[in-house]
Amino acid sequence: MSERKLDLGWLRIFEAVGRLGSLTGAGAELGLSQPAVSYQIRRIEEQVGAPLISRMHRGCKLTTAGETLFRAVHGGLERIDDAARQVRASLSSPVMRIFTDYGFASFWLMPRVAEFRRLHPGIDVHVVASQGLEGAFDGTSDAAILFGRRADFPGEARLLMPERVVPVCSAGYRARYGPFDDPRSLSRQPLLHLDTVGKPRWLTWTTWLAVQGVEREPAQGDLGLNTYGFVIQAALSEQGIALGWIGLVDAHLAGGSLVAVGPEVRRDDCGYWLVTTGEGNERRKALSDWLLSQPQ
């Protein structure tokens, strides 16, 4: 179905008359009667202060003044119509892709994305979760949400969530092996590690303990897992104590399935960053605005 043209009044009428050399022909094309076209041309001639067409017995011709104005009107209409098409095309792109890691996808994004879809029913959101950064900037995503420090990202990246980490375990675990009033008490427990290839960008148990001034040799009961979902799942099944990122474990803390068992460590320079990929358009901006407006 062809798109509906913007109402541009006499501009469309004049352009059609100039192009077709006929008031009747222009009216036929625009769905107007011939006197309506005649009326509009005369009114604009009054505004300009010069004849724009010379009327022949059958048909008409642009005057020199008319040709000058016609070129400008024709060019202007092309630009405005192009812009309208571009706006509409950008509205009809139905899928928004968000690239992120598994942890953020599972614990933060998926629970919330329903609200975005409710606010923007015409938009489908696809979450593209990955282990690393490969594919984050290959142009197929509309936004990337990635963990790292400020210097890891382009200047226009926005901090979505600063890194705030607290040790957590299940309430049952604490009841059985706790209480853990002193950070040093954690060093005697099996700790759950989030493994990665290469140097981790997020806070680790090593760093957490060092901040507390606690020395610990690697205990034999420690567990290493390669996705954060597995880490939380192990904590929930009372296999040890995990690090909990505020923002990701909020629902578990609120529901009581996990409890905090130590002080929070915070690194304001680190966190989840929003990087908008590709050229800005209406939907991408809507997505960014929504992500940035979420309460922390």
Partner DNA sequence: GGTTGCCATAGAGAACGTTTATGTCAGAAC
Partner DNA sequence: GTTCTGACATAAACGTTCTCTATGGCAACC
Residues of the shown chain interacting with a copy of itself in the complex, contacts defined by CB under 8 A: 4, 6-11, 44, 47-50, 63-65, 68-69, 71-73, 75-77, 79-80, 82-84, 86-88, 90-91, 280-282, 284-285
Closest to DNA by CB, 48 vs 219, is 48
Q: Name the minimum Å distance from CB 126 to a copy of itself.
A: 21
Cα–Cα distance measured from residue 214 to residue 95, given in angstroms and rounded to the nearest whole number: 49
Q: Name the minimum Å distance from CB 153 to a copy of itself.
A: 22
Residue 82 binds what, of DNA, a copy of itself, none (CB under 5 to 8 Å, by partner type)?
a copy of itself
Task: Report the interface residues with DNA, using CB under 7 A.
Answer: 7, 9-10, 13, 22-25, 27, 31-36, 38-43, 55-60
List, in order, residues 6 or more apart from 240 with CB less than 8 Å away.
Answer: 169, 173, 189, 190, 191, 192, 221, 222, 223, 234
> Under a CB-based contact definition with an 8 Å cutoff, are residues 231 and 169 in contact?
no
Closest to a copy of itself by CB, 73 vs 241, is 73
CA-CA-CA-CA dihedral for 12, 42, 72, 282, to nearest 10: -40
Helices (H), 200-274: 205-212, 228-236, 250-255
Residue 128 binds what, of a copy of itself, DNA, none (CB under 5 to 8 Å, by partner type)?
none
Assign 3-state DSSP to the chain and report helix, strand, coil percentages, each to 5.
45, 20, 35
Cα–Cα distance measured from residue 213 to residue 81, given in angstroms and rounded to the nearest whole number: 67
Residue 22 binds what, of DNA, a copy of itself, none (CB under 5 to 8 Å, by partner type)?
DNA
Closest to DNA by CB, 25 vs 183, is 25
